[in-house]
Amino acid sequence: MQKVHNVGQRPSRSSGSAILFLTFQTLILMLDNIRMFLVALEEGSLNRAAVRLRVSQPALTRHMQALEAELGGELFERTPSGIRPTDAGHALAASMPPVIAAYEAGVAEARRLLRGQRDLLRVGYLGSAAQRFLNPALALLRQSLPRIKVKLLDLSPGEQITALRQGEIDLAIIGQEGGFAANEFYTRKLATLPVVALLPADHALAGQVSISLQELAGERFIGAPEADMPGRDRWITQLCRRAGFRPRFAHVAQTISESFSLVSSEGAVTLGPGYLQGYPAAGVAMVPVREEYATWDFLIVWQRGKTAASALALLDALAAVVKQECDAKEMVPPEAGTKAKRARKSP
């Protein structure tokens, strides 16, 4: 008996799951029937196809009749010498092999990922951070997993988060913007960096050993689009307000290169992580900020679920690189008890 829902009553979650299961089951049955149909055409005979498929001929005939009933017509003609496809059968035979191959490849890949296996590791990263952190970590990764293939994508923080949501990358080496996605993904703090002020090279404060944030009151700041760097303007605003003023954003830059250009050409200022001092830019001075609360977290973000062994290996390699960097006293080691440790125990 078919269950009828009352008017205005929503189907239960269990009934929705049952419908989804039945739809998937129907798809599997149709694909099985199409596979049998293709074998029958290759053999040119239902008898020979039944032997090859290790089923009885009546059973194979029932599968072919079910497929024809589903599609609404005959797919082949019976002749004294065997079978031959109709026009519809020719069309089905020409179009289905790539579909079945893609389905089988997708299922096999899903099963491999569910077992935590991956031959290709797709990594999103900040271009400005690659030389200092990512490249040494990749060298360590290749020592432990020499056969692993790594695909690197230079993406903004916002683009990395979008790519994670769409399943286009496995791991994002991102700034503190990754904290805004902590509810969706696993995160691990790679390091806590000091902050530097990016000033025009001819600025009155450019020659200082360090400056206070309060000395930047009245300057024109460079902001960033929320889509590219989520939370970046809020971070700058919070730091400046703790110093007693509200920053005035007069320019917008989508990349660090654009920020350098605006600092040099427009005389604007901005704040950034301390590792930028390793990338000198013409016309730009990078001066450390003295306030202890002025820090920038360097985060790694990756998909929830069972974490692939290759991703865990890269996480370990990055942690080793960070440990070396900490010896330079430019960074604070990441806190213990991170979500990464919990991820290792995740099913």
Grouped pLDDT means (10 residues each) for the chain, 347 residues: 41 48 69 89 90 89 90 88 89 88 77 63 82 85 87 91 90 86 86 93 95 96 92 94 96 92 96 87 95 91 83 89 67 44 39
Exposed/middle/buried for 169, CB within 10 Å: 0-12, 13-18, 19+?
A: buried
pLDDT digits (tens, 9 = 90+) for 43-65: 998 999 899 888 898 999 999 99
Task: Please report the pLDDT score of residue 308 as a whole number.
Answer: 81
Q: Tell me the domain boundaries of the chain.
A: 15-114, 120-190+296-344, 193-295
CATH of 120-190+296-344, one of 3.90.480.20, 3.40.190.10, 3.40.50.300, 3.40.50.720: 3.40.190.10
Query: Hey, how many other C-beta atoms are within 10 angstroms of the C-beta on 267?
Result: 15
Structure tokens at 281: 């830019």
CATH code: domain 193-295 is 3.40.190.10
Task: Scan for tokens 């519809």, then name that residue.
Answer: 88
> How big is the CA angle at 189 (ends 185 and 193), to the nearest 5 degrees?
140
CA distance 188 to 137: 15
Question: Residue 81: which residues within 8 A CB-CB, separation 6 or more?
Answer: 44
Task: Please report the pLDDT score of residue 112 as a whole number.
Answer: 64
Task: Please report the pLDDT score of residue 109 as a whole number.
Answer: 67
**What secondary structure, in 3-state letters, does the chain show?**
CCCCCCCCCCCCHHHHHHHHHHHHHHHHHHHHHHHHHHHHHHHCCHHHHHHHHCCCHHHHHHHHHHHHHHHCCCCEEEECCEEEECHHHHHHHHHHHHHHHHHHHHHHHHHHHHCCCCCEEEEEECHHHHHHHHHHHHHHHHHHCCCCEEEEEECCHHHHHHHHHCCCCCEEEECHHHHHHCCCCEEEEEEEEEEEEEEECCCCCCCCCCECHHHHCCCEEEECCCCCCCCHHHHHHHHHHHCCCCCEEEEECCCHHHHHHHHHHHCCEEEEEHHHHHCCCCCEEEEEECCCCCEEEEEEEECCCCCCHHHHHHHHHHHHHHHHHHCCCCCECCCCCCHHHHHHCCC
pLDDT digits (tens, 9 = 90+) for 250-286: 999 988 889 999 999 999 999 999 888 888 889 999 9
Name 302's bridge partners.
Answer: 171, 186
Task: Please report the pLDDT score of residue 347 as a whole number.
Answer: 35
- Cα torsion through 212, 213, 216, 217, rounded to 10: -120
Task: Please report the pLDDT score of residue 24 as a whole number.
Answer: 63
CA distance 223 to 154: 21
CA distance 205 to 107: 60
Structure tokens at 138: 């990749």
Q: Estimate to the nearest angstrom the gap between the alpha carbon of 131 and the chain centroid.
A: 21
pTM beyond 0.85? no
Is the CATH code 1.10.10.10 the one for domain 15-114? yes
Nearest CA among 52, 1, 63 for reference residue 28 = 63
Name 266's bridge partners.
Answer: none
Please tell me if the domain spanning 120-190+296-344 has the same topology as the one spanning 193-295. Answer: yes
Query: Hey, how many other C-beta atoms are within 10 angstroms of the C-beta on 87?
Result: 10
- Cα torsion through 146, 151, 152, 158, rounded to 10: -130
